[in-house]
């Protein structure tokens, strides 16, 4: 106890000796309140009621508010002032709008999106689209003619030996593929034309599949020297697919009045499609191969071509010494002759040139 008292006295004496007096303890001052802190500590003064007809993600002033479901409104608290609302859909459509929140309360924001813009090239003019459809229609007509030619040849017992069948089908298929190719990259603002394009592309795929199956069937029959087994099965598959290779009559009905569509159809083929305007035109009763317009693939029984003695597979060359460029030249040549008279006609059949005097039949139409 004496020792503790002595230490305390010495400590007080030492402090007095140096003239120092320990200050009393001071309580800490509270931190100053930041300007505007009171306002920020309060609840927001307003809110945005977001409403969208399409599910989307939303941001307010660059801050995500999460996904907003279609037709499910959501309230988002905000402070007064101008707020920037942005939204985006899964297919890439965007919404941007500045919203002036000038007073307390709730402000409704309707989030609307334009229709999704198609990805790809812009729509082409109707005339360009119709001209491409005209070329496609012509190619499909040629493929149908090649199919009839194939039916006629294969109806014979050993028709599969005729090498012209596969060639005719292949050429007609190539014409279809080439005509359909430009349409793949085209878009139309017209819904009806878009449906026709879809039908053309669908039928084009069927043409390719049908031709490949028939080629394999004929090859198998040639190998077995008869329709048997694999060849017979492949032929049945190809024939079952044939209806899908044709365009519906509605395609022609839709495009009949289009001048661009008619311009793509050779003049000598317009009458068959109900598009001809020249009174000299008439139905020849023959369908040419598009890739070789002077080669006849199909002959209509009782038609003018059959009356002239022409057969499927014949390639027309000239008449009266003048070479033919198209079937229209043959029609004009026949119009110049009197019915019942003889007219010289040159054509190729089976690789050999034939020169004949044909009897001119009475031609349909006014003449």
What residue ranges do the domains of the chain occupy? 44-111, 126-263, 269-359
Alpha-helical runs (H) found in the chain: 2-17, 37-41, 126-154, 164-184, 191-224, 230-241, 249-255, 259-263, 267-270, 304-307, 327-335
> What's the pLDDT score for residue 43?
53
> What's the pLDDT score for residue 358?
95
Per-residue pLDDT band for 25 (boundaries 50, 70, 90) equals low
Calculate mean pLDDT across residues 301-313.
92
pTM: 0.59
Query: What is residue 273's three-state secondary structure?
Result: coil
Residue among 215, 148, 138 nearest 178 (CA): 138
Query: How far is residue 241 CA from its own chain's centroid?
Result: 22
Calculate mean pLDDT across residues 336-345.
94
Alpha-helical runs (H) found in 110-248: 126-154, 164-184, 191-224, 230-241
User: Would you say residue 214 has pLDDT above 90?
Assistant: yes
Summary mean pLDDT of the chain: 84
User: Would you say residue 10 has pLDDT above 50?
Assistant: no
Bridge partners (DSSP) of residue 56 are 68
User: Would you say residue 50 has pLDDT above 60?
Assistant: yes
Exposure of 348 in the CB half-sphere (CA atoms within 13 A): 10
**Which residue in this structure is represented by tokens 């919203």?**
99
| Alpha-carbon span 49 to 254, nearest angstrom | 49
| Alpha-carbon span 340 to 326, nearest angstrom | 24
> What's the pLDDT score for residue 291?
67
Phi and psi angles of residue 272, each rounded to the nearest 5 degrees, phi first? -60, -30
302: left (phi > 0), else alpha (psi -120 to 50), else beta? left
| Alpha-carbon span 214 to 301, nearest angstrom | 26
User: Would you say residue 33 has pLDDT above 70?
Assistant: no
State which fold the 269-359 domain adopts: Pdz3 Domain (2.30.42)
User: Would you say residue 6 has pLDDT above 60?
Assistant: no
The percentage of the chain sitting over the pLDDT mark of 70, rounded to a whole number, equals: 84
- Which two three-digit tokens encode residue 271? 């009458």
User: Would you say residue 121 has pLDDT above 90?
Assistant: no
Q: Which of 55-59, 137-141, 289-293 reaches the highest mean pLDDT?
A: 55-59
> What's the pLDDT score for residue 31?
52
Give, in words, the CATH class of 44-111. Answer: mainly beta
> What's the pLDDT score for residue 20?
46
Count of helices and strands (H, E) across the chain: 11, 13
């Amino acid at each position: 106890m004496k020792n503790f008292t002595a230490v305390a006295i010495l400590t007080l004496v030492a402090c007095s000796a140096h003239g120092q007096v320990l200050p009393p303890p001071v309580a800490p001052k509270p931190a100053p309140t930041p300007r505007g802190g009171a306002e920020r500590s309060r609840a927001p003064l307003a809110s945005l009621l977001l409403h969208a007809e399409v599910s989307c993600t939303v941001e307010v002033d660059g801050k995500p508010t999460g996904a907003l479901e279609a037709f499910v409104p959501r309230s988002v608290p905000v402070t007064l002032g101008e707020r920037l609302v942005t939204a985006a859909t899964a297919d890439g459509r965007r919404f941007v709008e500045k919203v002036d929140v000038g007073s307390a309360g709730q402000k409704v924001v309707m989030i609307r999106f334009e229709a999704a813009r198609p990805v790809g090239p812009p729509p082409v003019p109707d005339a360009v689209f119709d001209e491409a459809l005209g070329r496609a229609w012509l190619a499909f007509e040629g493929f149908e003619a090649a199919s009839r030619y194939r039916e006629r040849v294969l109806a014979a017992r050993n028709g599969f030996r005729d090498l012209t069948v596969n060639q005719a089908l292949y050429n007609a298929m190539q014409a279809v593929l080439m005509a359909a190719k430009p349409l793949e990259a085209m878009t139309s603002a017209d819904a009806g034309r878009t449906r026709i394009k879809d039908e053309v592309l669908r039928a084009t795929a069927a043409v390719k599949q049908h031709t490949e199956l028939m080629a394999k069937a004929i090859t198998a029959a040639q190998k077995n020297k008869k329709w048997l087994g694999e060849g017979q099965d492949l032929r049945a598959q190809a024939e079952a697919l044939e209806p899908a290779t044709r365009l519906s009559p509605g395609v022609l009905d839709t495009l009949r009045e289009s001048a661009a569509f008619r311009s793509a159809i050779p003049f000598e083929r317009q009458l068959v499609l109900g598009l001809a305007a020249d009174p000299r035109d008439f139905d020849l009763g023959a369908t040419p191969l598009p890739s070789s317009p002077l080669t006849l693939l199909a002959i209509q029984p009782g038609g003018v071509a059959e009356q002239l003695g022409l057969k499927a597979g014949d390639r027309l060359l000239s008449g009266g010494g003048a070479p033919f460029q198209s079937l229209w030249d043959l029609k004009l040549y026949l119009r110049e002759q009197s019915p019942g008279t003889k007219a010289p006609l040159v054509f190729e059949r089976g690789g050999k040139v034939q020169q004949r005097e044909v009897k001119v039949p009475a031609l349909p139409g006014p003449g």
